[in-house]
Structure 1
């Protein structure tokens, strides 16, 4: 009977005792039974590791499944990796597109605008024609009579309105029709023209008579300026020049009476309207109530340049500004650096309104003439710096203008262009402003007087 086998007649307790005695007398190694020991005995105890298997597998060994090339191959060939790669590539392309077409252009444009405000030799932009052939009777800047201001001391109930009208060009019939359309009240409303009230149209004398009767205000346009230049000339004859335009101006001048000439000479280059006392709080939106100072000019204004240094020729003729030099032009924008003047003006006033940094604008950022006076009156020692100097910061302003019939009606936050080509068969447009700063535009159709 084998030692490890139980006899059928042997009691269970005797079998367990005999088995225990056998196990305790064997070496421990003999009591171990596993696959390694069995394999070792089957191979006649040949060492398990062969000589060739003792070398260590390298990081890039192709025989090792965990090596760099094999792991990389498995990753690249996996569907998940291909999806992640495609998503990453798409995200990179979207970021590049967003940078190139959405982020970079505004940054580049912003920088180009700023370059125009970097201080130059004279502390401002180079004036092209300033000081030459200026009418000695020209009033550069005029304040609106405070009695005409909506919501002012003479209008505590806020019933007065200002009605601004674009280039009339001698179209009296359309002017009368427009005033009726806006329900113009001669007792409480005040009419303001943006210049070029005469020339080209059928009834220049009738327009002037109507404006004089209504005690309307108007800034000087390039056509009024031309008529006054002809009037100053010592050679008011058709033979004095071969210019067709001069001949027309001279013919128009001969129709005018002294009262008309006096009215033309009284037109200022710029009309300043103070902020409305009862105006609602302004916003950045295009249809925001107008609570800022208003400047009425015929053509445009160069931002950052004090009014005393504005060139009268460009105030009456500009249409574009070079954004890198801020030199204006009477021509329309024809390159990427030339912008409609109101674009540059809008960028400038946006920056002021948002209280963005004006650090590098240097001497260009002088307050306007009327702002300087206002600040001096309101200035207290609380707002002085260490050296006792005040921190002058310009305020946003709204410009109302005409002149540019080709561009047409242009309504923006900081500028309102009202020339809608009436004399050429377009429309005559009015902007009506009430004491709360709320405004609306209304237009009437016009006949084509150029045909």
Structure 2
């Protein structure tokens, strides 16, 4: 009975499934067909590119996430990329500012200084430099016994004392010498010229200089007086002619009446330039208050790279500026060309170039050494070899320090390669001394002056 009921239930179940069209969860067939791994249906785009009439393959396919526009969009949205671009922009701005504010002006200044030395420039390095007439000694070397640390000063106790324009201010001169404890037995006094005129006591200043054995280069006032004496002393000073009635001429005539023969001999004996060799005990080191190189004392200035014997005497006693393109000097601070620079700026640039060992091979040929170099060149390999060896030795130029006065408008100017000591004493400024010891150390001492103008 129970068996019969079970068979009836089975038949009813089959009949109901047939009526509802219900199919089994898995159709009949091999089991491998029922596996649903994703890799079996994965189709690679590269291997099987899509096809269609509207499809055009390229790097700017917006449907492709790896295309150029989509990658660029993601890159721009990246915070890291924006920071990097901001840094690059900042570096560009800094580089532009450095070029405009520092590099470009320095390069322009370097060229402005250099172009006057080149042979291609008209009158470059003072192309008209051919010395000139000078009634007196052009170049004098200091006596070896007076050199600090020299043959007569093994212990290095001697000093050199350089003094700016005194202009007849005897009282201030004595005050200054007292301030530096000047001792004629160990100190040597050197004046930068213009020791006379304008002030109250020119004969008294000359007497003091003669008494202490001082030397002085000739300034423009001494030179004018020496030249004036050639005519004034041979005429009646009380009755000047129409050609001798200028204010300067009258002052020269009055001063000549006060001067004695010893004064005139001292003035005429003043050299145009005084040369001092490097101090034996001075060690070379940088600094504007240390001197270990040769010293050239002049009244007004020098044209750099031009040999001393080819310097124009008038400008050595009168120059204040120099044209940086032609190197033609001027007695004025500014000229109409607009190219004027203080002569000591060009001088300092040139000496610094020599000190750093920079080449001057392309500069003008002026010195005897360079002339001799051309004479020793011979044909053949031996002559060329000898010439190249000697060429390096002859082209070795050493920097020099210029000590000068004359330019009271610029005042005290202390640089490494130039020392300007005229500080306008006669006009109520100060009288300046620079004391140099045997080891090259310098000290600047000044005293106040009364205005005598």
Q: TM-score normalized by structure 1?
A: 0.81
Does the 8 A contact of 2:319 with 2:329 survive in 1?
yes
Structure 1 residue 296, shift from structure 2 partner? 0.4
1:296-316 deviation line (CA, Å, top 9, x unaligned)? 000011111111210000000
- 1:106 corresponds in structure 2 to 106
**Aligned counterparts of 1:449 and 1:424: Cα–Cα separation in 2:** 6
Does the 8 A contact of 2:285 with 2:292 survive in 1?
no
5+ long unaligned stretches in structure 1:
1-22, 40-47, 373-383
- 2:216 corresponds in structure 1 to 218
- 1:359 corresponds in structure 2 to 361
Residue 66 of structure 2 corresponds to residue 66 of structure 1: yes
- 2:331 corresponds in structure 1 to 330
Q: Report the more deviating stretch, 334-343 or 420-429.
A: 334-343
Residue 446 of structure 2 corresponds to residue 448 of structure 1: no
Q: Report the more deviating stretch, 212-221 or 391-400.
A: 391-400
**Aligned counterparts of 1:344 and 1:389: Cα–Cα separation in 2:** 29
Q: CA RMSD in A?
A: 3.0
Does the 8 A contact of 2:162 with 2:189 survive in 1?
yes
- 1:164 corresponds in structure 2 to 162
Name the SS for the 1:252 alignment partner.
helix
Q: For 1:360-439, what aligned pairs fall within 5 Å after superposition?
A: 360-364=362-366, 386-387=386-387, 389-390=390-391, 391-392=393-394, 393-439=396-442
- 1:84 corresponds in structure 2 to 84
Does the 8 A contact of 1:129 with 1:313 survive in 2?
no
Distance 1:183 1:64, change over 3 A: same
- 2:152 corresponds in structure 1 to 154
Name the SS for the 1:344 alignment partner.
helix
**Aligned counterparts of 2:426 and 2:367: Cα–Cα separation in 1:** 38
Structure 1 residue 435, shift from structure 2 partner? 1.1
Does the 8 A contact of 1:421 with 1:428 survive in 2?
yes
Structure 1 residue 72, shift from structure 2 partner? 2.1
Aligned length: 401
1:356-415 deviation line (CA, Å, top 9, x unaligned)? 12221241466699xx9xxxxxxxxxxx95237453121111111000100000000011
Distance 1:70 1:365, change over 3 A: farther
Structure 1 residue 130, shift from structure 2 partner? 4.7
Does the 8 A contact of 2:125 with 2:303 survive in 1?
no
- 2:352 corresponds in structure 1 to 350
Structure 1 residue 258, shift from structure 2 partner? 1.1
**Aligned counterparts of 1:217 and 1:37: Cα–Cα separation in 2:** 111
**Aligned counterparts of 1:203 and 1:115: Cα–Cα separation in 2:** 46
Does the 8 A contact of 1:422 with 1:447 survive in 2?
yes
Does the 8 A contact of 2:125 with 2:326 survive in 1?
no
**Aligned counterparts of 1:178 and 1:400: Cα–Cα separation in 2:** 18
Q: Report the more deviating stretch, 228-237 or 390-399.
A: 228-237
Does the 8 A contact of 1:299 with 1:319 survive in 2?
yes
**Aligned counterparts of 1:124 and 1:412: Cα–Cα separation in 2:** 22
5+ long unaligned stretches in structure 2:
1-25, 43-47, 373-383
Name the SS for the 2:138 alignment partner.
strand
Does the 8 A contact of 1:366 with 1:394 survive in 2?
no
Distance 1:92 1:258, change over 3 A: same
Aligned partner (choices 203, 206, 229) of residue 205 of structure 1: 203
- 1:96 corresponds in structure 2 to 96
- 1:126 corresponds in structure 2 to 127
Structure 1 residue 332, shift from structure 2 partner? 1.1
